[in-house]
Structure 1
Amino acid sequence: MKRISLSSIPAAMLLGFACAAAPAAAQSPGVCLSLTDAMSLAASRAPEVAGAEARLAEAEAEVQAARSLRRPQVSTFGRSSLGDTGLTSSQLENQLGVQVSQRLYDFGDARLAEAAADNQVDQRNYEIAAQQAESAQMLADAYLTRLETLAVIDVVSERRDYFRRQRDAVTDLLARGGATRADRAQIEAQLANAEADALELQFLADQSATRIREYAGVDRLDLCDSESASRSLAGEMAGLETLDRLVQAALSDNPMIGARLSAVRSLEARLDRARRNRLPVIEAVGIASYVYDDQREDWEGRDRLGVDVSVPLYTGRALNAQRDQAAAQLAAEQSALRTLQRDMREQAEIAFRRSISLEAQLIRREAVASSQAEYFDAIAGEFEYGLGTLPDLVDARLAHERAQIDVISARFDWLRQKLELLRLTGRTPRVATGE
């Protein structure tokens, strides 16, 4: 979600950042739903994951089919015909039997078929992890958005209450000639603005709540506070303190990279198999049948045991086409892998530097908020002794409030950037921690 911004409207009143940072829906640690547990619920319940698991089942079935090439093949057969036996060279017109064949040597054909299928299973497993991470990220964004919105709602509520008190005070002063109609109109406008902001923010909070309920499958939204979320994410970030470690983790642990690598390995095995499609396949073949001999006019048992060697001689360039197709598919997948690796390195470095920048910005925003608080106290003191005007007091209060909202936004932007780092490095929480 985009960062919440009230730059186009008057900012809200805030007595201190600690008041704003604690959302209205925060619960005690013993009963609240932590960020990581909510993400794990989303990862386990997402219908998209079920689709990825179905593709995994399909790949596992292909593994079984590939392994069957190494196993005995058993089939039954029957033959029957009527008519003049002189028209055929066979005297065995009626047969019923069983044929058993076993590959003895195929120049690696079965091994390569199994390797291609195994790597495809690995690819599907990585795709499941990627889909789980995507669903968890969607939930996490809604989780943080709700916490941030509730924090800003607290700020706007303070502003609304403040201007209500100011309106009552100005109304009394106006009756005694101590204020003007312009002063009251200004206060009324600020109050209406605060109420409109509260309605919009409440909609955003409800919107996030709807997504959380749908993704996590919970009825009550007893979310932990932002400090708990920050601690959870900090624990997942262990070992990613430097840019080199982060980039290395992104290239080695990101599930999409893993899926591409597995796809390349699978296609390499398929290409090797296609290159060997002109080599012979040697099989041991045994046949046992019960036949009717036309010359003897009697049924008897027959059997045969031998070795079959099959070599394709001419297929109308079908085998060449298979090799060319496999080579083209491999080249395309290798190109996609290199592109993804390049993009991943770029995104990882940008995200790392962005995280450092946001952390530094948060410190600066807190310093600005502290200075604005001192400035407002000074203006309020002057106004109390009749040395300032109402517009000066309102402007000072709003500037102080804007600084506090900037602190809230900077804090949650930093948390979202941590989530982005976890996504890039394949560390998005997908298993419940029980926190």
Structure 2
Amino acid sequence: MTAFKRISLAGSALCALVLAGPAYGQEAPVRCLGFTDGLALAAARAPEVDGARAREAEARADLREARSLMRPQVSTFGRSGVGDSGLTGSQIDNQLGVRVSQRVFDFGDSRLAREAAQGGVDQREFDTLEQQNQAAYAFADAYLTRLEAEAMIGVIAQRRAYFVRQHEAIEALLRRGGATRADNAQIVAQLASAEAEALELRFTVDRAATRIREYSGQSAEPCAPDAARAALDAQLAGLGNVDDVVAAALAAHPRIGAQRSTIRSLEAQRDRQARSRLPVVEMVGIVSYVYDDTSEDWDTRDRVGVDVSVPLYTGSALGARNDRARARLSQEESGLRTLQRNLGEEAEVAFRRTLSLEAQLMRREAVAESQLDYFEAISGEFELGLGTLPVLIDARLDYEEAALDVVATRFSLLRQKLDLMRLTARMPRYAD
């Protein structure tokens, strides 16, 4: 069995798997998975988002607790004891009752507690949005990876089909003595190389399809690359220059919003700790049912009054809490400045990289057109017997390399736009 026949037997199964699809004789799927629809599904299904929402619910519970400080507090109590009732006697004291208290003035302590808790809620909301964006970004990257690999498979399929035709022609020439075994071996090697590269790309497609299915819950095929390109361009509309990009990143990125909310919460906590030595005034009312040991009877008692509590000495605990609050605030403010610097740099680099890739794509398309013209010229000379097979093969491979470069650059540009959309908080909003 010749080397070509062995490759052809293996290649027949490969063509059924690797080169199958709408472009190779199969009907297109009834409904494809749209780029924007996939983003929404990935954001809604991600378990990380569920965890972020649980943390958000915890922060809302803290807010409800902070709001309760200025609401009436009702508790019941029971006491039983024996002790002195005078200089010479003692008595048993049994008491059941209800205590009602209402904070009336606390120098802003309850207000600051609510502000701190509200800052925590805002921060958790931004964290939830960031988790949605990350899940959508992971899905989008897999979506583009699959489309890119399928486009490259299409280019390699053209190479394989071309060299199959060339091999048939070389075999005919070989029988007539017009070609050599070395020429035949070159063609067989190129066929084997094409099928090996297609196998690797098929693995990339399958791996991306697995991630798409896990993130979106859908097994549908991705829509055409033009739809993804249109969706990205629509989300980035209005970002005309680098200043717009940087301003959008610093103003709307969820991580920036979360950091600012944390700072607001810590500012309220700092102010609250600074006022911790100020008094808290409460109105208190008590109604109780008491056993009188002297008369051996139960009787009711009630009391209404004002409670004023002021910490006098806490062993430096209040000072330590105050210092801790200021230190945490300074850390978060420093973190915000660092985050603003890094995001501004990333946004500017992403925008400039996008412009560079757009220019590169135009030039690579021009190179591919020139390589195609060169290959067609060499093919014409070869058919007239004026060229050699190695030169023809090199021309074909150069053209294919240029075509693959066009595909890689086109999808690099789409990924860069996706990254720019993430940095500028232009990811689609997702309904709960």
Asked if these proteins are the same fold (TM beyond 0.5), I'd say yes
State the partner residue of 2:372: 373
Q: How does 1:251-290 map to 2 (within 5 A)?
A: 251-290=250-289
State the partner residue of 2:168: 168
State the partner residue of 1:42: 42
Distance (Å, rounded) in 2 between the aligned partners of 1:24 and 1:430 = 37
Distance (Å, rounded) in 1 between the aligned partners of 2:283 and 2:26 = 72
Distance apart, 1:301 and its partner CA: 1.1
State the partner residue of 2:411: 412
> Percent identity of the aligned residues?
61
TM-score, scaled relative to structure 1: 0.91
Distance (Å, rounded) in 2 between the aligned partners of 1:25 and 1:61 = 59
Q: Secondary structure at the match of 1:104?
A: strand
Matched AA of 2:137: Q
Q: Secondary structure at the match of 1:301?
A: strand
Greater RCO, 1 or 2 (C-alpha within 8 Å, sep 6+): 1
Whether the aligned pair in 1 keeps the contact of 2:361 and 2:410 (CA below 8 Å) is yes
Distance (Å, rounded) in 1 between the aligned partners of 2:34 and 2:27 = 10
Q: Secondary structure at the match of 1:80?
A: strand
Distance (Å, rounded) in 2 between the aligned partners of 1:27 and 1:307 = 83
State the partner residue of 2:309: 310
CA 183–26 in structure 1, closer or farther in 2 if over 3 Å, else same: closer
State the partner residue of 2:54: 54
Distance (Å, rounded) in 2 between the aligned partners of 1:268 and 1:342 = 22
Whether the aligned pair in 2 keeps the contact of 1:291 and 1:301 (CA below 8 Å) is yes
CA 157–196 in structure 1, closer or farther in 2 if over 3 Å, else same: same
Distance (Å, rounded) in 2 between the aligned partners of 1:100 and 1:88 = 35
Structure 1 consecutive aligned stretches of length 4 or more whose deviation exceeds 4 Å:
22-30, 82-92
RMSD: 2.0
Distance apart, 1:90 and its partner CA: 8.2
Matched AA of 2:191: L
Distance apart, 1:153 and its partner CA: 0.6
State the partner residue of 1:198: 198
Matched AA of 1:303: D
Q: Secondary structure at the match of 1:81?
A: strand
Whether the aligned pair in 1 keeps the contact of 2:142 and 2:211 (CA below 8 Å) is yes
Whether the aligned pair in 1 keeps the contact of 2:84 and 2:90 (CA below 8 Å) is no
Distance (Å, rounded) in 2 between the aligned partners of 1:323 and 1:88 = 50
Whether the aligned pair in 1 keeps the contact of 2:82 and 2:92 (CA below 8 Å) is no
CA 50–158 in structure 1, closer or farther in 2 if over 3 Å, else same: same
Q: Secondary structure at the match of 2:81?
A: coil
Matched AA of 1:235: A
Matched AA of 2:381: E
Distance (Å, rounded) in 1 between the aligned partners of 2:383 and 2:25 = 36
Residues 283-292 or 84-93, more deviating = 84-93
> What is the aligned residue count?
410
Whether the aligned pair in 2 keeps the contact of 1:25 and 1:150 (CA below 8 Å) is no
Distance apart, 1:85 and its partner CA: 5.3
Alignment of 1:239 with 2:249, yes or no, is no
Distance apart, 1:420 and its partner CA: 0.5
Matched AA of 1:319: L
Whether the aligned pair in 2 keeps the contact of 1:26 and 1:32 (CA below 8 Å) is no
State the partner residue of 1:182: 182
Whether the aligned pair in 2 keeps the contact of 1:136 and 1:429 (CA below 8 Å) is no
Unaligned runs of 5+ in 2: 1-21
Matched AA of 1:388: G
Residues 231-240 or 165-174, more deviating = 165-174
State the partner residue of 1:104: 104
Distance apart, 1:383 and its partner CA: 1.2
Distance apart, 1:81 and its partner CA: 2.2
State the partner residue of 2:331: 332
State the partner residue of 2:123: 123
Distance apart, 1:296 and its partner CA: 2.8
Distance apart, 1:163 and its partner CA: 1.3
State the partner residue of 2:8: none
Whether the aligned pair in 2 keeps the contact of 1:27 and 1:224 (CA below 8 Å) is no
Distance apart, 1:170 and its partner CA: 1.1
How big is each residue's C-alpha offset from its partner over 1:365-390, in whole Å with a ceiling of 9 and x where there is no partner?
Answer: 11111111111111111112111111
Q: How does 1:389-408 map to 2 (within 5 A)?
A: 389-408=388-407
Whether the aligned pair in 2 keeps the contact of 1:26 and 1:224 (CA below 8 Å) is no
Distance (Å, rounded) in 2 between the aligned partners of 1:154 and 1:90 = 101
Distance (Å, rounded) in 1 between the aligned partners of 2:114 and 2:91 = 43
Q: Secondary structure at the match of 1:96?
A: strand
Q: Secondary structure at the match of 1:285?
A: strand
How big is each residue's C-alpha offset from its partner over 1:226-266, in whole Å with a ceiling of 9 and x where there is no partner?
Answer: 10100011110112111111111100110011011100110
Q: How does 1:140-155 map to 2 (within 5 A)?
A: 140-155=140-155
Distance (Å, rounded) in 2 between the aligned partners of 1:400 and 1:253 = 44
TM-score, scaled relative to structure 2: 0.91
CA 89–393 in structure 1, closer or farther in 2 if over 3 Å, else same: farther
Distance (Å, rounded) in 1 between the aligned partners of 2:69 and 2:321 = 19
Q: How does 1:204-243 map to 2 (within 5 A)?
A: 204-218=204-218, 220-243=219-242
Whether the aligned pair in 2 keeps the contact of 1:37 and 1:431 (CA below 8 Å) is no
Whether the aligned pair in 1 keeps the contact of 2:270 and 2:326 (CA below 8 Å) is yes
Distance apart, 1:84 and its partner CA: 7.0
Distance (Å, rounded) in 2 between the aligned partners of 1:90 and 1:324 = 49
Distance (Å, rounded) in 1 between the aligned partners of 2:74 and 2:315 = 30
Residues 54-63 or 289-298, more deviating = 289-298
Whether the aligned pair in 2 keeps the contact of 1:383 and 1:393 (CA below 8 Å) is yes
Whether the aligned pair in 1 keeps the contact of 2:82 and 2:91 (CA below 8 Å) is no
